[in-house]
Amino acid sequence: MFYNNIVLMQLKKKLKINTERVEGIVKKSEKGYGFLEIDSKVSYFIPPKKIKKVMNGDRIIAKKGFSKNREIVIPEKLIEPYLNTFIGYLQKINQQYFIIPDNQLLKEYIPCNYLKKDISKFESGDWFLAKLTKHKLNQNVFHAELIKFISKKKDPFTPWWIVLSKYNLKKNEPKIDLNNIVFDKNIPRKDLTNFSFITIDNNHTKDIDDAVFIKKKKDGSFFLIVAISDTTAFISYNSKLDVIASKRSFTNYLPGLNVPMLPRFLSEDLCSLKPNKKRPVLACKMIIKKNGSIKNSSSFFLAWIKSKAKLSYRNVSNWIEKKGSWKPLYKDIKNQLKLLYDFCLLRINWREKNSFIFPERLEYKFHLSKLNEVLNISIEKRRIAHKIIEECMIAANLTAAKILSKKKGFGLYNNHAGFDASNINYVSSFLKKKNIIISSKKLLTLKGFCNLYKILKKKKYKYLVNRIRKFQSFSEISLIPKPHYALGLKQYATWTSPIRKYGDIINHRFLKSIILNTKPFILKKDIIQNISNQKRKHRLSERDIEDFLYLEYFKKNNFEDKIFFSEIFEISRGGIRAKLLETGANIFIPSSFIHRIRSELDLNQDKGLIYLNGKLLYKISDVIKVKILNFRTNSKSIIAKLI
């Protein structure tokens, strides 16, 4: 009877609320009010006047109170600001400068100053890295200092510079004096400059790090040499350049821009296996038997080579597939391509039987103007020339893993553990319902994992593949050999891209210590963690740039009447996420565009299914027809509807 009594509420306010405080995260609304979220179930209203003292995402302590018989909280103490160091753009209003955070959840105009230069030299729309120095909850005002200039508003690379700054990635090549680079001349090398090595790459590739040579033996086996640029002959361990390369870890390949791990005079010249140039290499020689397996007699050695031709994937694929007019200039090159093609088919057949080859995914390429406008987006199919080089590199990396394991017991290994053990019982029972009987114990083995995906590939169970993919573990790097389930191999260690990947430089040094019978170098502290972190940041930066380009492309072109085929890859309570098969762009279809009466829809996120009045309507992996409706610039999302 006293539950809603006003007098009791007022008494509670006087006796208790004055001392009761709560801690939580501020969640702001676009309409000027907000809440303090204590956990997933408890939140308190923050009045509009008080919400102005905090930002969305701030962790604060607030005092409980009452307003109009409603329990509220008043922000009192800042625990952790949501903003610390952030990216934003400048805005000049009445001779005063503000920095506006590049965050769709933050709308604050934060007064700012620039300590390094006169801020008046900059214009509204210029981008900066900034640091929040004052918070309104503590000091009655928001204020920021501009730390670093990022880009002018009109720079066509502005989105790139913003993304690279966001993930703390470099925007330029390393700056090293050429005179500080000393080639190691003391290592003996075999002279293979008369061998008919060739390189196959994209037309525009300048950092060429692999060349191959093959011949067929009388017994029908293949003799293959994979020669990789010996970058460590130019980069001594723990030198200034080595430290820089270890921190960068990778060359960053973005649409319209690449930022090299090494200076371009190394990556695109001295270390690049350019045609008719004598270059030092670390080489692996292998015998591939008639059944496609690699003989155990494989070995590594140091050599000099001189590539006889720089070929393109497109020309080689066209020639093998008997398309177009291109043909090899010399008989030796023609013979190399024929043998490499036969080798490739042999290895693909062996891997299909003895390991596993995942179904190929469509890849997309942005064609940009000089001003970085998207002219077109094309599907990049992996053709036979790509597969030839891929099979050469997989064979070489597999061989490196075996030799490192046998000779050293350690190296830098690429691992994939298959399914997460904590979810394996669910995966097994789920498959059983689909008449695929494989025990949990077998699914955790390399053989069981490969057999499952062979079944799914053969029967074209796209829905099942999509459903169980989320229960797989992530790829990792380790110092000890472990299986790579996604490749179907017992161990795998890459060394074939030392111009582009610091992890491959590490394996080069391990392999060279075996060749030269020297003590292995000491691995730098936290290097594996740094490589993993950099890989993740590169992947995120590429995704962000692609999202931006997709948005610009669809905004610029009028596709209102065009029908797109899309494949569903995620179903949530809010709607469908799908990929446009023609361009690769991700789209979102709100539930209101699936069916008008929401109560009749059941969007089952766990099962990846959508039911309408109890009947199955759509599932993950379905291909649907859609039309583009509009764009949400802040979230970089493309909204579509079903047709």
Strands 222-229 and 615-619: unpaired
Q: Which of 82, 97, 313, 553 is catalytic?
A: 313
DSSP classification of residue 214: E
Task: Please say whether the beta carbons of 227 and 211 come within 8 A.
Answer: yes
Q: Do residues 503 and 493 lie in contact, with contact meaning Cβ atoms separated by under 8 Å?
A: no
622 flagged as catalytic: no
- Residue of 492, 500, 553, 622 marked catalytic: 500
Residue among 58, 89, 114, 201 flagged as catalytic: 201
Q: Which two tokens stand for residue 313?
A: 């994937």
Active site residue 269: no
Stretch (H or E) spanning 301: strand 299-306
The whole-angstrom separation of Cα 399 and Cα 491 is 9
Q: Residue 519 class from Cβ within 10 Å (0-12 exposed, 13-18 middle, 19+ buried)?
A: exposed
Per the annotation, the verdict on 426 as an active-site residue is: no
Using N-to-C axis directions, what is the helix angle for 384-407 and 502-516, rounded to 10°? 50
- Residue 361 DSSP label: P
323/330 Cα distance (integer angstroms): 19
Residue with tokens 């501020």: 26
| E strand residue ranges, 504-607 | 564-572, 575-580, 586-590, 601-604
- Please report, as a single letter, which amino acid is at residue 414: N
Task: Compute the distance between CA of residue 214 and CA of residue 340 in angstroms, rounded to an integer.
Answer: 7
β-strands 637-642, 210-216 pairing? unpaired
Q: Residues 58, 126, 210, 504: which is the catalytic one?
A: 210
Sequential DSSP letters for 126-194? -EEEEEEEE-HHHHSS-EEEEEEEEE-TT-TTHHHHHHHHHTT--SS-----GGG------S--EE-TT
How would you list the strands of the sheet with 609-612, edge to edge?
601-604, 609-612, 615-619
Catalytic member of 44, 89, 97, 207: 207
CA atoms of 602 and 5, how far apart (whole Å): 41
Degrees to nearest 5, angle at CA 405 with 400 and 410: 100
State residue 419 phi and psi, 5-degree precision: -85, 145
- Tell me whether residue 230 is one of the annotated catalytic residues: no
Kindly give, in sequence order, each residue whose CB lies less than 8 Å from that of residue 326, ignoring residues fewer than 6 positions away. Answer: 315, 318, 319
Q: Is 351 a catalytic residue?
A: no
613 in helix, strand or coil? coil
Could you tell me the sign of the dihedral formed by the alpha carbons of 427, 428, 432, 437, in that order?
positive
The H helix count followed by the E strand count for the chain is 15, 31
DSSP 38: S
Catalytic residue among 209, 230, 544, 547: 209
Whether 210 sits among the annotated catalytic residues: the reply is yes
Mind telling me the catalytic residues? 201, 207, 209-210, 313, 500
